[in-house]
Amino acid sequence: MSESTATNRLQSLFHRFGLHLGRYRYTLAGARDALLRGGEVDLVLDVGAHFGEYGRSLRAAGYRGEILSFEPIAEHFERLRQAAAGDEAWHCLNRAGGAGAETATINVSANDGHSSSLLEMTATHERAAPGSHSARVQEIEVVGVDEALAERSQPPRDPYLKADTQGYEHEVLAGAKETLRQCRAVELELSLAPIYEGQLLIGEMIELMRGHGFVPTHVEPEFVDPGSGELLCVNGLFQPA
């Protein structure tokens, strides 16, 4: 899919919700960097941290504030801790983000865990990304973002929430209701087609975020089926309405 085709599809989607993609000045990454450079965000919540790629990108972009990364899969968490080693402002939690504290089973994908999810993968995902199937399962611990922050001695004033949890983003939001009241922005992975069983699709997620007082301001293509050219997933940035 060409960049212009993807942009047109996103523009059409935004129009359905009375929004206009062209009015926004920055790319998603540029908007994120502008928010973090502003100095008001005092904590980035990195839910679904994998090996720490997101945290490293924040540091490379110049963000020096606190990061709290959530990663439930044991071997991935060890690599995350290595990425954060020596960074006193980067904290790591061996938990998945969810609606609340529980023990659960996660599907660990064969593609180095990039598609691991608490939900079952659909045939659409497997067809678009051969080798992403579940290779095994692992028992993990889940915690709500609100619960995790309640354990901190100093609660954040202006957090930034990022959730990349392979279809489980709505559950992360369910466990972050109090945190969302304070968030400067929320960054989510959003699916245009069902790639995990039981997930909410992009329209439902936009409406869910509207209920929390946020509107989408930036989107960028994330996952395209290379065979059909279908745009399956985007990253979206939401800011207070």
Q: Is residue 133 part of a domain?
A: yes
pLDDT at 3: 47
In this prediction the pTM is 0.90
Q: Which tokens sit at 66? A: 């606190």
Residue with tokens 């301001």: 217
Mean per-residue pLDDT for 44-50?
A: 98
What's the rounded Cα separation, in Å, for the pair 51 and 78? 8
Q: Is residue 219 part of a domain?
A: no
The pLDDT of residue 1 is above 50: no
pLDDT at 153: 84
Q: Is residue 191 part of a domain?
A: no
Alpha-carbon dihedral angle through residues 87, 169, 184, 210, given to the nearest 10 degrees: 180
Say if residue 116 is in the same domain as residue 24. Answer: no
Is 42 or 11 the better-scoring residue by pLDDT?
A: 42
Say if residue 140 is in the same domain as residue 172. Answer: yes
What's the rounded Cα separation, in Å, for the pair 182 and 177? 10
**Which has the minimum average pLDDT: 18-32, 142-156, 186-200?**
18-32
Say if residue 4 is in the same domain as residue 121. Answer: no
pLDDT at 85: 97
Pairing of strands 102-109, 134-143: antiparallel
Q: Is residue 217 part of a domain?
A: no
pLDDT at 183: 98
Say if residue 174 is in the same domain as residue 87. Answer: yes
Mean per-residue pLDDT for 210-219?
A: 96
What's the rounded Cα separation, in Å, for the pair 155 and 178? 11
Looking at residue 148, its amino acid is A
Say if residue 31 is in the same domain as residue 111. Answer: no
Say if residue 86 is in the same domain as residue 116. Answer: yes
Mean per-residue pLDDT for 139-156?
A: 94
Cβ neighbours of residue 90 under 8 Å, at least 6 residues apart?
A: 55, 59, 66, 67, 69, 84
Helix (H, G, I), strand (E, B) or coil at 186: strand
pLDDT at 149: 97
Q: In degrees, to the nearest 5, what angle opens at C-alpha 58 toward C-alphas 53 and 63? A: 155
Give, to the nearest 10 degrees, the angle between helix 53-60 and helix 74-84.
Answer: 20
pLDDT at 7: 54
What's the rounded Cα separation, in Å, for the pair 10 and 220? 8
The pLDDT of residue 63 is above 80: yes
Rg of the chain taking only CA atoms, in angstroms: 17
Q: Is residue 142 part of a domain?
A: yes
Q: Where does the chain show beta strands of DSSP type E?
A: 43-47, 66-70, 90-93, 96-97, 102-109, 134-143, 159-163, 185-191, 214-224, 231-240
| Percent residues over pLDDT 70 in the chain | 90
Q: Is residue 186 part of a domain?
A: no
The pLDDT of residue 196 is above 90: yes
Say if residue 96 is in the same domain as residue 144. Answer: yes
Say if residue 23 is in the same domain as residue 63. Answer: no
Using CA atoms, how far residue 104 sits from 28, 123, 189, 233, in Å, is 32, 23, 21, 25
The pLDDT of residue 25 is above 90: no
Confidence of residue 11 (pLDDT cuts 50, 70, 90): low
Q: Is residue 89 part of a domain?
A: yes
What's the rounded Cα separation, in Å, for the pair 238 and 188? 8
Say if residue 5 is in the same domain as residue 68. Answer: no
pLDDT at 179: 98
Say if residue 95 is in the same domain as residue 34. Answer: no
Say if residue 88 is in the same domain as residue 10. Answer: no
C-alpha 157: how far from chain center: 20
Which domain covers residue 17, as residue numbers?
1-38
pLDDT at 113: 83
Which of 178, 209, 227 marks a domain boundary? Answer: 178
pLDDT of 158-177, one tens digit each? 999 999 999 999 999 999 99
Say if residue 70 is in the same domain as residue 146. Answer: yes
The pLDDT of residue 19 is above 70: no
pLDDT of 96-135, one tens digit each? 999 999 999 999 999 988 999 999 999 999 999 998 999 9
Q: Is residue 33 part of a domain?
A: yes
What's the rounded Cα separation, in Å, for the pair 230 and 103? 35
* Total domain count, the chain: 2
